[in-house]
Each structure stands twice: as structure tokens, then as C-alpha cells.
């Protein structure tokens, strides 16, 4: 035991390719899902996860040995991996699933990540994920992975401080009604919230510069299939249909405050007498 020895951190960042957040989505006529023939990009929460990993390296320099990104998805997800590599990750793993395959569920993804972690010869100290994907909005994968690994977890993190020597992470979490600070021992699973971006414009996920995009093309991407790592990604929940939410219809405009008050009264809304 040499507590002063610099711990070489290995960080894993799972990311997902999702329909771009700005796209107005449309349910397909068969009601089996949504029209996916639209712009895709990295899940915004995952971008923050990648950014956070890179910042940890910027703070700790050589103490971070590797930042590995991983995605489970169709061939096109490779673009998402390249984006993360261009942001500053070192290498990538792509667990490829056929274009036509149904989207894996969080439990399947968590099992795949567990299998991948177990394959890492140097181990994994910190896993940083987005708190949820903006397509399925499940928000489960990080917690499930923590459960499967038996590791500590810090969800909805808005601030992460890693101490590689003590092998601990101090994390500020967004919880209902406030913030909470946690201290977790390595290995730890962290899921990121958006807070940092809202607070400081300067902490937005970085754009990849052209030279970095060129460099990213040379970074290693390991390709695997679910079968190769012995994981079954078949969904266990059956999606019966996907529908449009009920449309709200505007009720017209009123001409004066009195009319507005009349409408409010009609709806049973009255003022409180002092």
C-alpha cells in the first residue's frame, strides 16, 4: 500500500445516438415508433458525460490513463463515437446491432456494459453516463449497471470531483428540492445532469475542431457484437404501439380583462379576498 502513488484512472463513458433534440418528431403511420429518417446526434446528457470525462483529465492530467467511449447501436452509431473521440476520448468500443433490430432496453444495455467492463484488462474506475436518453426517457441504465456491478452510484450529478489518490469522487447531485453532496469510493457509476451547462455557459460540451476531427479518425474503435460478448439484447417489454399525444386545441382569444375574468370565473377560478 503506497497511498501516495498516483492512481491511473480508467474512465468509461457509454454514449447513445439519438434523434437530435431539436427535431420535431413524428409518429409513423403504422404506430410502431417514430419516423427515424431524421437528424441524429449524440444524446445531450451523454455529451456532458464525455465533456466531464475530458475535464477530469484536464484537471488531473496524467492521472487519467484512459477515456474510453462505448456505444451499443446500429452501424450509424459509429459517427457518434467519432464525435466523442474528436471531443477528446482516446478509444472507442462499438457493440453493433443490426439496423433493423429493436432498440435495446436499459437492462440489456447495462448487461452489455457489465460484460465490457469485465473485458477491460486494466479495469474501470469511473463510469460516466448521461442521466437519461432523450428518446426513451427511461433514465435507468446507470443505476442498473451499478446494481449489476455492485458499485456505488451517484445519479443526476451536477458537479464531479475525482481524487485518484484517495480513490474517491465527491459528487453534487440534483435532487427533488435541492442539492445533495455525496462521497463515493471507486469504482463508481456517475450519471450526469444538465445543471453545469445551465449555470455556466463556458462549461458547455466543446465543439470538436477540424484537426481534432481528423485525429479522431485515426483513434482505435473496437467492433463487437452482442453475441460475441454473450449478451442477449432482445427487449423484454413489448411495445404495443406508439401514438401521438392528445393535441391541445386553442380556445380563442378574449378582448378585455373583464372577459378574461369571466372565463376564469366560468372555470371556477376566483381571487382570494384579503
CB closer to another protein out of 138 and 214: 138
The one among 137, 211, 266, 274 contacting another protein by CB under 8 A? 137
The one among 30, 176, 258, 266 contacting another protein by CB under 8 A? 176
The one among 30, 238, 258, 266 contacting another protein by CB under 8 A? 238
**Least CB distance to another protein at residue 256 (A):** 32
The residues, any chain, with a CB within 8 Å of residue 188's CB and separated by 6 or more, are: 125, 126, 127, 151, 152, 153, 154, 169
**Least CB distance to another protein at residue 1 (A):** 7
Long-range pairs, 31-40, Cβ under 8 A, ≥24: 31/241, 31/242, 31/243, 32/239, 32/241, 32/242, 33/239, 33/242, 34/242, 40/76, 40/79, 40/80
- The reply on whether position 46 binds another protein by CB under 8 A is no
Site for another protein in 9-28 (CB under 8 A): 19, 24-25, 27
- The reply on whether position 43 binds another protein by CB under 8 A is no
- The reply on whether position 212 binds another protein by CB under 8 A is no
CB closer to another protein out of 87 and 156: 156
Q: Which residue has the cell 478509444?
A: 91
Tell the burial category of 62 from Cβ atoms under 10 Å away from its Cβ (0-12, 13-18, 19+): exposed
Q: Which three cell numbers stand for residue 16?
A: 447513445
- The reply on whether position 136 binds another protein by CB under 8 A is yes
Edge-to-edge strand ranges of the sheet holding 168-175? 178-185, 168-175, 152-163, 188-192, 126-130, 9-15, 64-73, 91-96, 221-225
The one among 106, 130, 164, 205 contacting another protein by CB under 8 A? 106
Binding site for another protein (CB under 8 A): 1, 3, 19, 24-25, 27, 34, 105-107, 110, 134-141, 143-148, 150, 152-153, 155-156, 166, 173-177, 180, 182, 235-245
Amino acid at each position: 500500500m503506497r497511498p501516495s502513488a498516483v492512481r491511473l484512472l480508467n474512465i468509461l463513458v457509454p454514449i447513445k445516438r439519438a434523434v437530435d433534440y431539436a427535431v420535431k418528431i413524428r409518429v409513423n403511420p403504422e404506430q410502431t415508433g417514430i419516423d427515424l429518417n431524421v437528424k441524429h446526434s449524440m444524446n445531450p446528457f451523454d455529451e456532458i458525460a464525455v465533456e466531464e470525462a475530458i475535464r477530469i483529465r484536464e484537471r488531473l492530467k496524467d492521472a487519467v490513463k484512459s477515456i474510453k467511449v462505448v456505444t451499443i447501436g446500429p452501424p450509424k452509431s459509429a459517427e457518434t463515437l467519432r464525435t466523442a473521440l474528436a471531443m477528446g476520448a482516446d478509444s472507442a468500443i462499438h457493440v453493433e446491432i443490426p439496423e433493423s433490430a429493436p432498440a435495446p432496453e436499459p437492462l440489456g444495455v447495462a448487461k452489455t456494459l457489465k460484460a465490457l467492463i469485465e473485458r477491460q484488462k486494466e479495469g474501470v474506475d469511473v463510469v460516466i453516463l448521461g442521466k437519461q436518453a432523450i428518446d426513451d426517457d427511461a433514465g435507468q441504465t446507470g443505476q442498473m449497471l451499478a446494481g449489476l456491478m455492485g458499485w456505488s452510484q451517484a445519479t443526476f450529478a451536477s458537479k464531479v470531483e475525482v481524487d485518484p489518490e484517495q480513490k474517491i469522487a465527491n459528487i453534487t447531485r440534483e435532487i427533488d428540492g435541492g442539492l445533495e453532496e455525496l462521497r463515493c469510493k471507486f469504482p463508481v457509476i456517475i450519471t450526469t445532469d444538465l445543471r453545469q451547462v445551465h449555470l455556466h455557459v463556458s462549461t458547455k460540451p466543446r465543439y470538436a475542431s477540424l484537426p481534432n476531427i481528423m485525429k479522431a479518425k485515426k483513434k482505435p474503435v473496437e467492433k463487437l457484437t452482442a453475441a460475441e460478448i454473450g449478451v442477449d439484447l432482445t427487449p423484454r417489454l413489448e411495445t404495443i404501439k406508439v401514438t401521438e399525444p392528445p393535441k391541445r386545441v386553442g380556445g380563442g382569444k378574449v378582448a378585455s380583462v373583464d372577459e378574461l375574468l369571466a372565463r376564469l370565473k366560468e372555470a371556477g377560478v376566483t381571487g382570494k379576498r384579503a
